A and B are shown apart, each in its own frame.
Chain A
Amino acid sequence: MCKPRLAVFKFASCDGCQLSLLDAEDHLLAVADAVEIVYFPEATSHMEEGPYDIALVEGSITTPHDAERIQQIRKDARFLMTIGACATAGGIQALRNWADKDEFMQAVYATPEYIQVLETSTPIAEHVQVDFELRGCPINQYQLIEVIRSLLAGQTPRTPRHSVCLDCKRRGTVCVTVAQGTACLGPVTQSGCHALCPSYNRGCYGCFGPALQANLVSLSAQMEREGASKAEIAHKLKNFNAYAPAFRTESTRLVQLEGDQRR
């Protein structure tokens, strides 16, 4: 029987999400046995052309060339899955979507004219149809293995959509907001990290993006009551998932409100 052909592609990103695949040491050889890795430049020099059964895509679209490249990958892939906040929400580099891209370029490069980049950094789903999005910055390797496994078994992959708070309760972590008044995005952030930050005594900063039905307005109000300014809260939301709709809407609202107050 032919093994499913797996390919891994990279766009604007840090490699951290695809590294999660290499980090899954205990499962890696088993996965490598169950699928045929036909394209994964970070790991192997063996490269085959499409079609692919599963294409894992890391990174956001930030250049005209990449905007074209993703179209071809879509054509080649039977099942296209994005991995990580860059690919599903535009990543930290999407902060330029609020800025003047040319000014950003000038701040970093001596001769920005040489470089072709788009005005925005956008998620893969804004360009092509995506079959499954795996969240996180970085993704959780167990979720990745689980998703690949369920795909191989012909099942629809499922990852939890509840908020980090529930995981805090499950692992018995004392709430950093309640106990210390530390600002925490956990109530509005999707589960996936096993409530990591609070267990290290800090507030969540939102790696996994907005949880299902997250009530951002209510959380901002709570943070303001605890002394945070609107600008500070907006900064917290403008992070690795800044361009995810729920976070984007709320940070924009806060910035606007603050502008109104100043006027």
Chain B
Amino acid sequence: MTERKIKVETLTRVEGEGGLYVRLQGEQVEEVRLEIYEPPRLFEALLRGRPLEDAPDITARICGICPVAYQMSSVHAMEMALGVEITPEIRRLRRLLYCGEWIESHGLHMHLLHAPDFLGFESGLAMAKQFPDEVNRGLRLKKHGNQLVDLLGGRAIHPVNVCVGGFYRIPSRNEFQKLVPDFEWGLNAAIETTRWVAGFEYPELESDCEFVSLSHPDEYPMNEGVMQTSSGDQIEISNYRDEFQEQQVPHSTALHAIRKTTGRPYLLGPLSRVNLNRDRLSPAARKLADEIAFEPECRNPHRAIIARGLELVHSYEEALQILRDEHSTKEPRMTYEYQAGVGMSATEAPRGTLFHRYEIDTEGKIVEADIIPPTSQNQAQIEVDLKAWVGQVIEKEESQAARLCENLVRAYDPCISCSTHFLNVTIERS
């Protein structure tokens, strides 16, 4: 039997750098590897010994695409360690900031990174000539996300306004109100976008993955809750490390996360969140999900772009509500005194659940840090799904098959920049 290899040296339209390696024996898919060659930056080591207040500024730099998620997970974890209770107002503003990041990230991914795959373009920019309205709409939505993070966070990339206990400064009511007209437009545009992507032609693929996301009784999960799984388990954040385990596999360049109980990989991100929390989407998003007949448990990873659209609509609707109500006359942040302790938190980054755990000492210094980014957790599941997908596209001509594999990887919107746990292993080829 002949051996065939498909190699995608550089995965494009993903954040960070990685490649893909597939080995076939005749018609048999022997091996599929998502190769991450992102150099390690050793964040967990360099945080040790630093003041706990540094955590939100420094961990933001793990990923420029979802700095808010890093800031939120770290401040929550520190607050738990310090025994700080935040006010409902601060909590609401943190959700607002999160809405901004989801709008920015989903808007970018849907229009500029992923849609080109369905329409046969090499980039969003190349698509702009034939789909000017859609690309411009995408850029505008993304800009709204940036504007919101800009206002509340001070800057769209690596916000400066987030701190342990709350915010350094809360913008004025007037500043919030100014965004309302744009966001009203954006809510409708997000609905249009979702209808648009729902009309794409989707290849058949059924993943047998276990969906995992945060879940909260009263709200769509962003910054708090228990870990809910599609097999019905509910896991407290304090048990995260006992239930989800990272393994070093010799053939791969990254740590692979699995469920400890089953030994199997799992999937985080928009598809999991929507599947597990659809009834807590905002009214407009829920109505839209029914209108476009989004299946109750969607198992096709290609369709994650639709789940992203539903979350985009949700983010606009929730953001609008907060922007309209915001009075901002209260204390921007809670004070605290140092005490030794351990704190952990998980929040929903655009790509899935992000877990932070810190140990701090009596002087407020970080003793130990543990960070599990979403892509590291999704990695193993992506490979499993890829294996099934390769089996389906194998008869195609080489470059076409490679392109189709790339398309699937992009469906997960993997963020390879979150290099805290990515390895640069020397690969043995058979």
Which positions in A face B, CB cutoff 8 Å? 10-20, 22-23, 25-26, 28-29, 32, 37, 41-47, 62-63, 65-66, 91-93, 95-96, 99, 103-105, 107-111, 114-117, 121, 137-138, 193, 196-197, 199-202, 205, 207, 232, 235, 239-240
Most buried by B among A42, A96, A99, A107: A42
Given known A-B contacts A111-B248, A200-B168, A47 and B125 have beta carbons under 8 A apart: no
Of all chain A residues, which has the CB nearest B142? A25
Most buried by A among B11, B45, B67, B143: B45
Residues of B within 8 A of A95 (CB): 46
Please state if B123 and A46 are interface contacts (CB–CB under 8 Å). Answer: yes
Q: With A42-B14, A109-B40, A110-B248 given, can you name 20 additional A-B contacts, CB distance below 8 Å?
A: A12-B39, A15-B417, A19-B157, A23-B156, A25-B139, A25-B143, A29-B125, A41-B11, A43-B124, A44-B124, A45-B116, A96-B45, A104-B46, A105-B40, A105-B45, A107-B48, A108-B420, A197-B154, A202-B163, A202-B169
Please state if A16 and B124 are interface contacts (CB–CB under 8 Å). Answer: no
**Please, what's the 1-or-0 string for B392-426, where 1 marks a CB less than 8 Å from any CB in chain A?**
00000000000000100000000001011101111
Please state if A12 and B157 are interface contacts (CB–CB under 8 Å). Answer: no
Among residues 27 to 86 in chain B, which have CB atoms less than 8 Å away from a CB atom of chain A? Answer: 37-46, 48, 50-51, 54, 57-58, 61-65, 67
Interface membership of B13, Cβ < 8 A: yes
Residues of A within 8 A of B419 (CB): 12
Residues of A within 8 A of B168 (CB): 197, 200-202
Nearest Cβ on chain B to A120's Cβ, whole angstroms: 12
Of all chain B residues, which has the CB nearest A28? B139
Please state if A15 and B15 are interface contacts (CB–CB under 8 Å). Answer: yes
Report how far A93 CA is from B278 CA in the complex, Å. Answer: 40
Most buried by B among A13, A15, A37, A239: A15
Interface membership of B10, Cβ < 8 A: yes
Given known A-B contacts A19-B157, A107-B48, A115-B423, A45 and B12 have beta carbons under 8 A apart: yes
**Please, what's the 1-or-0 string for B105-146, where 1 marks a CB less than 8 Å from any CB in chain A?**
000100011001000001111101000000000011011001
Residues of B within 8 A of A23 (CB): 142, 146, 156-157
Report how far A207 CA is from B157 CA in the complex, Å. Answer: 12
Please state if A196 and B45 are interface contacts (CB–CB under 8 Å). Answer: no
Residues of B within 8 A of A65 (CB): 37, 424
Residues of A within 8 A of B50 (CB): 235
Residues of B within 8 A of A45 (CB): 12-13, 116, 122-123, 406
Please state if B140 and A16 are interface contacts (CB–CB under 8 Å). Answer: no
Residues of A within 8 A of B122 (CB): 44-46
Interchain CB contact (< 8 A) of B64 among A32, A37, A138? A138
Report how far A26 CA is from B63 CA in the complex, Å. Answer: 23
Report how far A193 CA is from B46 CA in the complex, Å. Answer: 25
Please state if B63 and A15 are interface contacts (CB–CB under 8 Å). Answer: yes
**Please, what's the 1-or-0 string for B1-34, where 1 marks a CB less than 8 Å from any CB in chain A?**
0000000001111111100000000000000000
Interface membership of B160, Cβ < 8 A: yes
Number of chain B residues whose Cβ lies closer than 8 Å to a Cβ of chain A: 66
Please state if B158 and A137 are interface contacts (CB–CB under 8 Å). Answer: yes
Please state if A62 and B15 are interface contacts (CB–CB under 8 Å). Answer: no
Please state if A19 and B65 are interface contacts (CB–CB under 8 Å). Answer: yes
Report how far A13 CA is from B124 CA in the complex, Å. Answer: 23
Interface membership of B277, Cβ < 8 A: no
Interchain CB contact (< 8 A) of A196 among B39, B63, B155? B155
Residues of A within 8 A of B67 (CB): 14, 16
- Provide 18 A-B residue pairs closer than 8 Å at the C-beta atoms, listed in order of the A residue: A10-B16, A11-B39, A12-B419, A16-B63, A16-B157, A26-B143, A28-B139, A41-B10, A46-B122, A65-B37, A93-B43, A95-B46, A114-B248, A114-B424, A138-B157, A200-B154, A202-B161, A235-B51
Residues of A within 8 A of B332 (CB): 201
Please state if A14 and B63 are interface contacts (CB–CB under 8 Å). Answer: yes
Residues of A within 8 A of B421 (CB): 108
Residues of B within 8 A of A107 (CB): 42, 44-45, 48
Given known A-B contacts A42-B12, A104-B45, A197 and B39 have beta carbons under 8 A apart: no
Of all chain A residues, which has the CB nearest B64? A16
Of all chain B residues, which has the CB nearest A44? B123
Please state if A62 and B41 are interface contacts (CB–CB under 8 Å). Answer: yes
Of all chain A residues, which has the CB nearest B104? A23
Report how far A217 CA is from B115 CA in the complex, Å. Answer: 53
Report how far A29 CA is from B128 CA in the complex, Å. Answer: 9
Nearest Cβ on chain B to A76's Cβ, whole angstroms: 15
Residues of A within 8 A of B54 (CB): 235
Interchain CB contact (< 8 A) of B423 among A16, A29, A114? A114
Residues of B within 8 A of A15 (CB): 15-16, 63-65, 417
A-B pairs, 4 with minimum CB distance? A16-B64, A44-B123, A104-B45, A107-B45
Please state if B160 and A202 are interface contacts (CB–CB under 8 Å). Answer: yes
Nearest Cβ on chain B to A85's Cβ, whole angstroms: 9
Of all chain A residues, which has the CB nearest B163? A202
Most buried by A among B12, B41, B123: B41
Residues of A within 8 A of B163 (CB): 202
Report how far A88 CA is from B10 CA in the complex, Å. Answer: 24
Please state if A46 and B126 are interface contacts (CB–CB under 8 Å). Answer: yes
Interchain CB contact (< 8 A) of B12 among A41, A104, A111, A235? A41
Nearest Cβ on chain B to A199's Cβ, whole angstroms: 8
Residues of B within 8 A of A111 (CB): 248
